[in-house]
Structure 1
Amino acid sequence: MIRLASWIVGSLIITALAAWLISLDGTLTLEAAGYRMQPQLGVAIFLFLLVAIVVIIVWGVVRRVISAPRSMARRNRERRREQGVEALSDAIIALQAGDPARARLLAREAQARLPSNPAARLLEARADLAVGDMAAAREHYRALIADERTALAALAGLYEQARTQTRPEAALTFARKALALAPQAGWAATAVFEDFVRRGQWAEAVAMVNVEAVSNREQRARKRRRQAVIETARARETETSAPLPALDHALTALKLLPDFVPAALIAARIHVNRGETRKAMSLLRRIWRATGHPDVALLYAHAQPGASAVDRLKRMGELVEMPPPHRAAALVLARAAIDAYDWSKARDALAPFTGKDATQGIASLMAEIEEGQSGDQGKAREWLARAVRAPRDPAWTADGLTSDEWEPISPITGRLDAFEWKVPVVASSRPASAEPALPMVQEPLAVLPLAQAGNPQ
């Protein structure tokens, strides 16, 4: 209704203007080629407007005819681009759906319709890799390296291809190139870092960790732990050959993680070997109060070289009160008492933990006590039989493998900081790679993992 009213009003206004123009007084004289025309002024203006409209219409038609080929070409390009984008989208969907053959065909179609779009070629390379056509994938990736927009993605593809073909050196080469091109590339940094760790190049590894950017508390804590683990690995590696630098590395690790048992043990051993017994014992007392780790207590007992078993038991009594507050304390105290032939004290130390939940360590020590104190072979065999069925004690464990000592990386996967102090899931074990500087515990002793230090069971 409003539109109809507007149209009527507009028509009336136009009609009124036309009538007004025609009714204007005066004439206009036009002379051309011997002809003279004298139309009224209003008629002349009306004819001029009419001619202008006709010229505009004619020019519009001519311009459309002239530009028709160009418009058709543009529409064809737009249609090809739309078809290329659709093919590219379908190729991505097919690749994610697990149909690499169809994805490769669609990627080739997309590349034919979008020759200047590197994403189509990159997708075709991915599809080639998924199909197993390694040669074609390699050629596509190498061509894409020349384009700075796709260089990083191409290096990532070549890295994955090299890993698929079990070519670790080639994969590492591509990772290093990507890291030089884009230091923020996480996959490349991880690959290079893991190679440093695997080769034991701790200085390079810690340098990479030091420059890591952190944005929250969790990332900061993870960075500090990795730094501490690497510093401890450096200390462990040079503990015998270069004790002073090793001590610096161990103390640096303890600054980062104040209750890190492996670093504390290394630092304490170096102090003992240098004759700094008080420093070693002070450090071990602090770590024992924080973690309750049995290796700490055992090293504390042996902090004085040449001490007798009775002296070691007396020193252990300075660290562990009676009754022992947790199973780990009971085990180390009982071990020291057995070595000193103090059978009663050993039995009293283990008494609170000899119930149904007695572990292998408890049962084995009870067998020694029965045999050594009373010579009762029957009871000793009963405890040994019980030890076979008893739950295991915590030990240094990584990827199902147990070790007598902490190691910085897993010997199975090469993962950094893989060893944890916990109850092993399986029975596989690995002996210590080298003899410790001071006597260490031989039986796995019960204590909570380091993450729960300060609250031993």
Structure 2
Amino acid sequence: MLKRLVTIAVLILLAGYAASFLASQDGKTVIQWLGYRVEVQTSLLVTVMAAIIFLVVMMDRLLSFLAGLPGRLSGRIRNRRQEEGQQALALGLVAAAVGDQHEAAKNARRARRLTGGNTLTGLLDAQVATLRGDTEAASRFFGQLTDNRATAWLGHAGTMRLRAEAGDDEAALEAGRAAFATRRNEPGLARALFALEARHGNWREAITALEEAKRHRQSGANSKEAMRETDIALAVLHYQLARSLMERGETTGKDEGIILSSLENALKHHPGLTPAALEAADIHMQRGKKRKAVSLLEKAFLDTPHPDLAARLMDCWGGEDAASLARLMRLSDRGGNRLEAISACATIALKLMLWGEARRLAELVSTAERDAVLWSVLAEVGRNAPEDAAADDWPDPRYCLEEAARAPRSAAWTCRQCGATTAEWGPHCPSCEAFAALDWRMAKNTLPVAPADDTATPLPNQPD
């Protein structure tokens, strides 16, 4: 504004200076035309001509302004409608996100009336139809989105969700793959497709989808815990791929290479995946690579001190049982799962009938921290006390069994999602069907069922 005022002031000064200059000049201009003679001062003539030119220019500007006025008015009205339409669209999408069906439908109608309809209003209509439970209308709207290249992936993704909710997994997979083919860098879509592929045992396709989700993870989704869960899921996928090849029966040399590669990929993502470590160790032992087998078993035991890993390690080490058990205990001291490791070692000692070592290991844990396995170990040690031993020097079996009934449950495969426990590992939780959610750890706030009498209770997870 100030710049324009300065410019006008300068122009006025220049015009005044020019008029003053012309008025001070002598001279006349004579015009003869059709017998008429007009004599006028040159300064006046120049001033009049300048005024006429100014008036002509102003008149032209005025006429141009008046001619363009209807267009500008209609443009402002159109822009205002678009702004109001976009506002209604945004409110409708927010309402759909929070599940407010009435508000979403009202804003969808308003947005369509103001904007004339576009891809975003089509998306909002699809969301409203989904909230209403009108799957036919929602499918139609999502289908319309697939006609536009820019929104095709949204249409396919919406169709995938609708079909999955309806239980039509084949159609959901088809739509999900179509969406993934056009939008591989969308982590939410990739994770949804991974879940579908894993549910149907399409391990290769699930690995591809989850790796893309990991590569294009959203900001804030790269926390240590989230990355760990993704790596565990990838490990389980690679292990399941290896299992699917092993279950064919006869395998070729190429298949064996793929199996071992898949197992090693699984352990690369999660060294403590017990079944993968056991399978890979067996293959290496069959090929005469004992050092390789021992190395991966040790890494697995440090991460997940499962009794099966402990037993397999002792088999691979060979030698005297007591020496192997001592070696296993030294390895346990390097890990961070002290209670689970001691429980595994005590179970091994009990199986080897090393009563004194089993007792020593169980008593390394305070009475308040002992789980049902350790109390059961002490009960079995007490039953096998030497006949000539003093009763006070050995654990009382009845007392230990009573404590085992009250003690926290021993380590088991525990679901991170629902907390359910199971004795056998699997890719899905048997309770909530969560994929790759089973960890070998102590279950929280769970107690074993008390035994009916004082007979020996079987030791959980004790090797056969």
Deviates more, 1:218-227 or 1:133-142: 218-227
Of the three residues 382, 386, 389, the one matched with 2:403 is: 386
Separation in structure 2 between the aligned mates of residue 82 and residue 267 of structure 1, nearest angstrom: 62
Change (3 A) 1:98 1:24: same
Change (3 A) 1:88 1:204: closer
Amino acid at match of 1:229: V
Query: Residue 437 of structure 2: SS of its match in structure 1?
Result: coil
- Match runs of 1:221-370 below 5 Å: 225-239=232-246, 241=249, 242=251, 244-245=256-257, 246-255=259-268, 257-258=270-271, 260-270=273-283, 284=297, 287-288=300-301, 292-301=305-314, 313-314=321-322, 316-317=324-325, 319-320=327-328, 327-328=339-340, 331-332=343-344, 334-336=346-348, 338-339=350-351, 341=353, 343-353=355-365, 355-370=367-382
Whether the 8 Å CA contact 2:373–2:459 is kept in 1: the answer is no
Deviations 1:344-371 (A, max 9, x none): 4544443434734332112222333333
- 5+ residue gaps, structure 2: 449-457
Separation in structure 1 between the aligned mates of residue 440 and residue 38 of structure 2, nearest angstrom: 114
Shift of 1:41: 1.6
Shift of 1:114: 1.7
Change (3 A) 1:133 1:6: closer
Amino acid at match of 1:367: A
Separation in structure 1 between the aligned mates of residue 76 and residue 399 of structure 2, nearest angstrom: 92
Deviations 1:91-144 (A, max 9, x none): 345545654323322232222222264323323332333344444333332222
**Identical residues among aligned pairs (%):** 27
Shift of 1:208: 4.3
Amino acid at match of 2:129: D
Whether 1:404 and 2:423 are equivalent positions in the alignment is yes
Aligned residue in 1 for 2:454: none
Aligned length: 426
Change (3 A) 1:220 1:401: closer
Query: How does the TM-score come out when normalised to structure 2?
Result: 0.73
Query: Residue 37 of structure 1: SS of its match in structure 2?
Result: strand
Whether the 8 Å CA contact 2:346–2:374 is kept in 1: the answer is no
Whether the 8 Å CA contact 1:88–1:120 is kept in 2: the answer is yes
Shift of 1:220: 7.8
Change (3 A) 1:205 1:147: closer
Aligned residue in 2 for 1:80: 81
Query: Residue 364 of structure 2: SS of its match in structure 1?
Result: helix
Query: Residue 200 of structure 1: SS of its match in structure 2?
Result: coil
Shift of 1:88: 3.2
Amino acid at match of 1:387: A
Whether the 8 Å CA contact 2:173–2:193 is kept in 1: the answer is yes
Separation in structure 2 between the aligned mates of residue 153 and residue 428 of structure 1, nearest angstrom: 48
Whether the 8 Å CA contact 1:396–1:420 is kept in 2: the answer is yes
Change (3 A) 1:97 1:196: closer
Deviations 1:362-397 (A, max 9, x none): 222233333344799x94333322211111111122
Change (3 A) 1:343 1:427: same
Separation in structure 2 between the aligned mates of residue 92 and residue 35 of structure 1, nearest angstrom: 80
Aligned residue in 2 for 1:136: 137
Shift of 1:182: 1.4
Separation in structure 1 between the aligned mates of residue 326 and residue 170 of structure 2, nearest angstrom: 54
Query: Residue 29 of structure 1: SS of its match in structure 2?
Result: strand
Of the three residues 397, 417, 431, the one matched with 2:436 is: 417
Whether the 8 Å CA contact 2:362–2:374 is kept in 1: the answer is yes
Whether the 8 Å CA contact 2:329–2:345 is kept in 1: the answer is no
Query: Residue 30 of structure 1: SS of its match in structure 2?
Result: strand
Whether the 8 Å CA contact 1:87–1:106 is kept in 2: the answer is yes
Amino acid at match of 2:237: I
Change (3 A) 1:312 1:173: farther
Separation in structure 2 between the aligned mates of residue 400 and residue 427 of structure 1, nearest angstrom: 10
Separation in structure 1 between the aligned mates of residue 24 and residue 291 of structure 2, nearest angstrom: 122
Whether 1:371 and 2:371 are equivalent positions in the alignment is no
Shift of 1:194: 1.7
Larger RCO, structures 1/2 (Cα 8 Å, 6+ apart): 1
Aligned residue in 1 for 2:174: 173
Separation in structure 2 between the aligned mates of residue 14 and residue 259 of structure 1, nearest angstrom: 90
Amino acid at match of 1:155: H
Whether the 8 Å CA contact 2:187–2:216 is kept in 1: the answer is no
Query: Residue 192 of structure 1: SS of its match in structure 2?
Result: helix
Change (3 A) 1:154 1:252: closer
Deviations 1:281-338 (A, max 9, x none): 675456546754422222345569xx9xxx984575454469x965556545554554
Aligned residue in 2 for 1:126: 127
Amino acid at match of 1:362: L
Query: Residue 28 of structure 2: SS of its match in structure 1?
Result: coil
Amino acid at match of 1:395: A
Separation in structure 1 between the aligned mates of residue 151 and residue 7 of structure 2, nearest angstrom: 58
Deviations 1:147-167 (A, max 9, x none): 223222333333343344444
Query: Residue 414 of structure 2: SS of its match in structure 1?
Result: strand
Amino acid at match of 2:235: A
Shift of 1:192: 2.2
Aligned residue in 1 for 2:42: 41
- 5+ residue gaps, structure 1: 430-440, 446-457
Separation in structure 1 between the aligned mates of residue 267 and residue 98 of structure 2, nearest angstrom: 50
Separation in structure 2 between the aligned mates of residue 8 and residue 234 of structure 1, nearest angstrom: 83
Deviates more, 1:216-225 or 1:96-105: 216-225
